[in-house]
Chains A and B, each alone.
Chain A
Amino acid sequence: MNRPAEPLMAQAATQAQMGQARPHESAHLHVAGAAPYTDDLPEPAGTLHAALGLSPLAHGRITAIDLDRLQAQPGVVAVLTALDIPGPNDCGAIVHDDPILAELSRGPDGALDGTVRHVGQPVFAVIARTRESARRAAALAPQVLTITPLPAVLGALDAHAQQQYVVPPMHLVRGDAPAALAQAAQITEGRFSLGGQEQFYLEGQISLAVPQEDGGMQVLCSTQHPSEMQHAVAHALSVAAHRVQVSCRRMGGGFGGKESQSAQFACVAAVAAARLKRPVKLRPDRDDDFMVTGRRHPFEFDWRVAHDDAGRITAAEVNMVSNAGHSADLSAPVMTRALCHVDNAYWLPHLAAHGHCAKTHTQSNTAFRGFGGPQGALAIEMVIDDIARRLGRDALDVRRANFYGTESNNVTPYGQVVRDNQIGPLVAQLAAECAYAERRASIAAFNAASPVLKKGLALTPVKFGIAFNVAHFNQAGALVHVYTDGSVLVNHGGTEMGQGLNTKVAQVVAHTLGIPFERVRCSATDTAKIANTSATAASTGSDLNGKAAEDAARQIRARLAAFVAGRLGGRAEAVRFAEGHATAEGGQTMAWAELVQAAYIARVQLWSDGHYATPGLHWNRDTLQGEPFQYFAYGAACSEVIVDTLTGEHRVLRADLLHDVGTSLNPAIDIGQVEGAYIQGLGWLTMEELWWQPMDGSKNAGRLMTHAPSTYKIPTANDVPAVFNTRLYGQPNAADTIGKSKAVGEPPLLLAFSAFLAIRDAISAAGGHRLNPPLRAPATPEAVLDALQAVGAGQP
């Protein structure tokens, strides 16, 4: 048979595309500096630059703004406030309490009256000819704003004491925990303070708004949620959604920070562009990015838990207070996920878990990889750690005693059955592979002989629910174009932030069409191509968009199969697509490019849309009951640390990770996700400290003082454990997911619990394992030394 020359196919691996450990589709561009991010795109002629004027006070009433002084600065073209926004001054994701620029009104006498809610809240936007002149003018904010200070609350517990919340408290209840606690023989109580975390996406927030005909607006935006940006911009401009187009080829990291909070920047750029009829770019400096946007929610926990002598929990009452910041943003769903993960891997017969989202005068906290799940799950790991130490048992034994069962004790507090429970065998495999028991003994021997340095060890499990907790978000769309040369373009609703989504989706499409990966290209996420997308969040990117793309590709494949059967005979459903060929029932083949060309001539539709809706989900947000997750992802990690009892300094010596990604779509990418998540979680729990100047009357009162990488420290290459073993678990997903894979974005972040609890174990060792160390997170040297002193160590 005459085959057209297909050099790409000849060199490519021609076996199944799913499951291949191929490099990120943009890796060759990344390393060459040739992968453009939003700021790298050519600026349209006449582009102006915006900078935000930030509130210097944590809470206060604005009574005047010296706009004339701002307007007179070199290069300044315009200064905008909330009064200049055509539509409602709101970019809230769910609750409409999030001003784009600080709330402002003008009274009949012309007097301004406004409110600022945190240090760093944008009050005005300066639009100038250069970014530098915009920044210099905006930096005059403290001089041009007249603000009457009002009392401010920074801490979650202070706001909780005043019952100041952004949404009403939530309760997840099963059985009768108070009654069970009242009758319990053994009760363990405790509390825990858990810090927040800055996303620290390397590429900061950015939007470039370009006016289009007839009131339209194109926004190039670094965002995980183009559709929400489209609606936020349409809302702010008071135009219909079809006039707004948002697109994003790639982000330099997102981690949740560009889910809802890219909206403020998109809206300001769009409002300015609409007003000035010029393209406007808003790229805040890193410090402003920290000062304006929120982060992972800090949580405060306290608990009372009833258990037996083996440590088996019979009832638990857990209170959680998150610091939501000044507005709701995503605080309610974050708390929901925290409540739905307070069980982690454990059967809790009676549970009363209470969630409070405290309203404070700080940045509005938001999504961050794990989305409350890590906070909720760490609470129960602290509980189990406490119980084990109190009973003098190995914490791993107590964990195992509490694992969900497979036939019984297998229903979560929110009413979902834990199907396909892998936690027992997975933990057993890791414990054996990392020689947990032997190392436990050798560490005890080391500690007995080491006066200053103490080692610690911990092995912790992860169970993480996959799907958005809101059922209707669990849908996706895709568009697959096959061009007449046989090349394939894919658009889908997910966004690429480094997680390799485009690589995986392209693998799915290549696999479905039986063609080499190199034939397929994923392009920018664009609201004009795929409508009504969900955020790329909740680890669902590949699950949703992979299935949607597969659906589109299958439709094309079905049409081509019919065409092949018509040409070559046999049944359409018997046509096979593999290795760049279609093979008819009778064994005759057509090469892909030849087939596509012939099908086009025969007027076969060579493109298709696809849609996917995750089956079986339902959720009652009032009772917090239902089937919120399609399945669970599992994992476990064992970390060994060493702690200096004189300084509180510590280091992870070894980490062993075993994580369940089902049947991996791309093992290289999945291992990258697992390891990256572990190190990111390690940063959260051990070094990344957010510190606000107390309301002490100083000029910095209420200001986040760790607002740049000079003061906010994320892990470096030297923080990677010297021994770092990562393995994928390898069991196919029992649920019908794309290629039997499992989501991998968020769950492995929880593997870092093992490092935190290993530090706690080392502190406990310094105190002779008599007391539960009151270790707060992040376990900075100071936090560690505080805990050491509390257990009677840390002082020579």
Chain B
Amino acid sequence: MSDSAPSATSGPAPEATAPAGATRPIRFVHQGAVRTVSGLPATTTVLGWLREDQRLTGTKEGCNEGDCGACTVLVGELDAAGALRFKPVNSCIQWLPALDGKALVTVEDLGGNHPVQQAMVACHGSQCGFCTPGIVMSLVGTGERCAEHCAGSGQAPSRAQIADDLSGNLCRCTGYRPILDAGAQALADPATLPRLATPALAEQLRTLQADAPLHLPGDGALAPPFHAPRTLDELAALREAFPEATLLAGCTDIGLWLNKQFRRFEGVIALGAVPELQAIEVVDGALHIGAGASLQAAWDALAQHWPASTEMGRRFASRPVREAGTLGGNIANGSPIGDGAPVLMALDATLRLRLGQSTRSVPLDRFYLGYMKNALQPGEFIEAITVPLPQPGDLLRAWKLSKRFDCDISALACGLHLRLDGERVAEARFAFGGLAATVARARQAEAAVTGQPWTEGTARAAMAALTQDYQPLTDLRASAGHRQRTAANLLWRLWLETRPVDPLPANTTTVWEAA
């Protein structure tokens, strides 16, 4: 991606404030028609609008924090190439303006006889039925994606893929087996599924693209001003003008600030309408990931170059959260645990930060200054993340430990990166989350191996040194002692898997790979 001024997207010139008269309603396609919504706070959730405004109660609220999936809906949008794609969304933590220019599909829109609905009945996939609409929507989303990707080939999703796509849909009754059966049955031939992505809908969305960028004026602290710039330059100008405004990407965390913490927002600048921020490309031997790229897209790209990070991507979050959340948001959020940062830090990622028209680069391992504090200046934002591509001798492992395999906040997450020069460790970057106030490198452990022959003794020295690197805390996810010992044990696992003689394959070292 480039710093030069873009772009094909036209819009008002960047200005310090929303241009007078630029306010317009939120517009999106729903049930075949363009819906026009105005007069509601920008923080109105899609779920709230459906259930309270529209009295469409098929979509359920189970947790109000994007963790149970009962509120799953599908959102269709045109991608960079103009193709219409649908993604599952947790409607309880998605705000209505995020639908602007998109299409919303809920369980009511399937008609009751969609193959997924029929299979769920036939396979006894519902008991209490409360999670069922969300599960149906997730399965329909999988079918839509498969129909899109497997066009022609008609390839059905594997049972494992279906289970992964359902990892954000909790069911307390069935034990899931009949739901997986229903998915396998309904999606056996994706090419025959009724499609949500129709040419007519795509045409409607193209029409909406002519709308001016969305600016909502706001009405007090409960209805903050909302801006959805279309270009990087407009974003930079808005951000500089309103440094106190909250930058909103996927709303997977900020949604909780509202729903659970009742935080008030001075203003909101949404990133979702800036296509430049979503670009992912390889330039000069490095992978550049726009800060607004979804976790799903970003991690798919990362795993393509660094396959060892694949499992972390699966475990990062549920599919809807991975589709909504962004890598930039994950980095900027600065959770001490955040699953992205340890891996990216181990890979020596750098951030491109932008303030107004100027940019600067900051290595990720110098970005976090303290608990939930980072190096961003007022008005500055993350534009992109740059990750070096593998060099000869590079070895990466990326692991997380948590109570549950899927979408659980890590007790510990790590990226362990070695560059071997023959049997000698030329360079080591070990980064851990969950062990300190920020994600941080294990400098002592790195020092213990750097320049040393990669031997059992070196590995043990690193494990011993690790105790000097962190003083973890005890909390609901794990005790301090457990974090310490498993961090060391993961270095041991690294040794077992990468030792020069008789390295162990992953299916003998982790239960997730074992059969």
Q: Is B418 an interface residue (CB 8 A)?
A: no
Q: How far is the CA of A691 from the CA of B276 in the complex (A)?
A: 44
Tell me which of B4-12, B59-67, B300-308, B364-372 binds A: B59-67
Residues of A650-683 at the interface with B, using a CB-CB cut-off of 8 Å, are 650-651, 653, 668-669, 671-672, 675-680
| Chain A residue contacts of B178, Cβ below 8 A | 672, 675
B489 & A136 in contact (Cβ 8 Å cutoff) = no
Closest residue to A778 on the B side, CB-wise?
B403
Stretch of A145-153, A382-390, A479-487, A704-712 at the chain-chain interface: A704-712
With A203-B60, A203-B62, A450-B508: A715-B126 Cβ-Cβ less than 8 Å: no
Contact A717 B180 (CB under 8 A): yes
Q: Which residues of A contact B (CB under 8 A)?
A: 23-24, 26-37, 39-40, 42, 74, 135-136, 139, 199-204, 250-253, 255, 285-287, 450-453, 497-500, 642-644, 646-651, 653, 668-669, 671-672, 675-680, 687, 689, 691, 705-706, 708-711, 713-720, 724, 726, 780-782, 785-786, 794-796
Chain A residue contacts of B131, Cβ below 8 A: 202, 252
User: Quick check: is B55 within 8 A (CB to CB) of the other chain?
Assistant: yes
A37-B130 contact given A252-B60, A672-B178, A709-B68, CB 8 Å threshold:
yes
Chain B residues 354-386 with CB under 8 Å of chain A are none
CB distance from B313 to the nearest CB of A (A): 14
What's the least CB distance linking A24 to chain B, in Å? 6
Q: B286 near A: Cβ within 8 Å?
A: no
A647 and B131 CA atoms in complex are apart in Å by 32
The reply to whether the CB of B482 lies closer than 8 angstroms to some CB of chain A is yes
B176 at the interface (CB under 8 A from A): yes
Is there contact, CB below 8 Å, between A785 and B482?
A: yes
Q: Are A720 and B177 in contact (CB under 8 A)?
A: yes
Find out whether the CB atom of A720 lies under 8 angstroms from the CB atom of B176: yes
What is the bound-complex CA distance between A679 and B180, given in angstroms?
A: 14
Contact segment of B74-82, B287-295, B444-452, B473-481:
B473-481
Q: Which of B55, B173, B401, B504 has the most CB of A within 10 A?
A: B173
Q: Is B405 an interface residue (CB 8 A)?
A: yes
Task: Answer yes or no: B58 CB below 8 A from chain A CBs.
Answer: yes
- Among residues 149 to 174 in chain B, which have CB atoms less than 8 Å away from a CB atom of chain A? 162-164, 166-167, 169-174
Whether B508 lies near A28 (C-beta < 8 A) is no
Known pairs A31-B136, A203-B130. 9 more at Cβ < 8 A? A31-B125, A33-B107, A34-B108, A37-B60, A453-B514, A498-B128, A709-B65, A724-B177, A781-B403
Contact B65 A714 (CB under 8 A): no
Determine if B58 and A33 form an interchain contact, defined as CB atoms under 8 angstroms apart. Answer: yes
A724 to B176: give the CA distance in the assembly, Å: 11
- Which of A74, A647, A676, A691 has the largest number of chain B CB atoms within 10 A? A647
The DSSP consensus for interface residues of chain B is: loop
Given A31-B117, A287-B260: A672 in contact with B174 (beta carbons within 8 A): yes
Tell me if A24 and B262 are in contact (CB < 8 A): no
A453 near B485 with CB under 8 A, answer no
Least CB distance, A455 to chain B, in whole angstroms = 9
With A286-B65, A675-B175, A780-B403 as contacts: A720 and B163 at CB distance below 8 Å: yes
Verify A785–B476 contact, CB threshold 8 A. Answer: no
Name which residue of chain A comes closest to B478, CB basis.
Answer: A782
Binds A, one of B24-32, B207-215, B231-239, B490-498: B490-498
Docked-complex contact A31 and B175, CB < 8 angstroms: no
Q: State whether A32 touches B67 (Cβ < 8 A).
A: no
State whether the Cβ of B17 lies closer than 8 Å to any Cβ in chain A.
no
User: Given the complex of chains A and B, what is the CA–CA distance between A711 and B476 in angstroms?
Assistant: 8
Chain B interface bracket (under 10, 10 to 19, 20 to 34, 35 or more): 35 or more
Some 13 contacts from A to B, beta carbons below 8 A apart, are A31-B126, A286-B62, A286-B63, A453-B509, A644-B509, A646-B509, A649-B511, A679-B174, A713-B408, A717-B169, A785-B486, A795-B489, A796-B489
Chain B's nearest CB lies how many Å from the CB of A319? 27
Q: Assuming the A-B contacts A202-B68, A252-B60, A646-B492, are A680 and B172 also in contact, with contact meaning beta carbons closer than 8 angstroms in the complex?
A: yes
User: What separation, in Å, do the CA atoms of A716 and B69 have in the docked complex?
Assistant: 11
Please give, as numbers and ranges, the residues of chain A lying within 8 Å of B405 by CB-CB distance.
Answer: 651, 716, 718-719
Check B465 for interface membership: any CB of A closer than 8 A: no
Chain B residues 110-128 with CB under 8 Å of chain A are 110-112, 116-117, 120-122, 124-128
User: Which residues of chain B have C-beta atoms less than 8 A from A37's C-beta?
Assistant: 60, 130
- A287 contacts across to B, CB distance below 8 A: 260
Decide: A679 near B176, CB < 8 A? Known: A24-B127, A35-B129, A672-B127: yes
**Across the two chains, which residue of chain B brings its CB closest to A131?**
B52
Chain A residues with CB under 8 Å of B409's CB are: 710-711
Known: A33-B108, A718-B163. A672 touches B406 (CB 8 A): no
Q: Is B510 an interface residue (CB 8 A)?
A: yes
> With contacts A27-B121, A781-B401 known, is A676 near B174, CB below 8 A?
yes
Q: How far is it, in angstroms, between the C-alpha of A709 and the C-alpha of B171 when the chains are bound? A: 12
Whether the Cβ atoms of A676 and B112 lie closer than 8 Å is no
**8 A Cβ contacts from B14-53 to A:** 51
- B176→A452 contact, CB < 8 A: no
A672 touches B173 (CB 8 A): yes
Q: A136-B262, A253-B130, A714-B172 are in contact. Are A708 and B65 (CB under 8 A)?
A: yes
Q: Which residue of the partner chain, among A39, A253, A687, contacts B173 with CB atoms under 8 Å? A: A253
Q: Chain A contacts of B416 at CB under 8 A?
A: none
Give A28 to B130 CA distance when docked, in angstroms: 13
Please give, as numbers and ranges, the residues of chain A lying within 8 Å of B108 by CB-CB distance: 32-34
Q: In the bound complex, what is the Cα–Cα distance between A26 and B112 (angstroms)?
A: 13
Residue numbers in A under 8 Å from B476 (CB-CB): 689, 691, 705-706, 711
- Whether A42 contacts B136 by the Cβ 8 Å rule is no
A775 to B70, CA, bound (A): 34
Cβ of A715: which chain B residues have Cβ within 8 Å of it?
Answer: 175-176, 404
Asked whether A498 lies within 8 Å of B129 as measured between CB atoms, the reply is yes
Chain A residue at minimal CB-CB distance from B110: A32
Q: Are B175 and A28 in contact (CB-based, < 8 A)?
A: no
Which residues of chain A are within 8 angstroms of B128 by Cβ–Cβ distance? 201-203, 250-253, 497-498
Is the Cβ of A646 less than 8 Å from the Cβ of B175? no
Residues of B within 8 A of A795 (CB): 485, 489
Closest chain A CB from B478 CB (angstroms):
5
- Complex interface: chain A residues within 8 A of B310 (CB): none
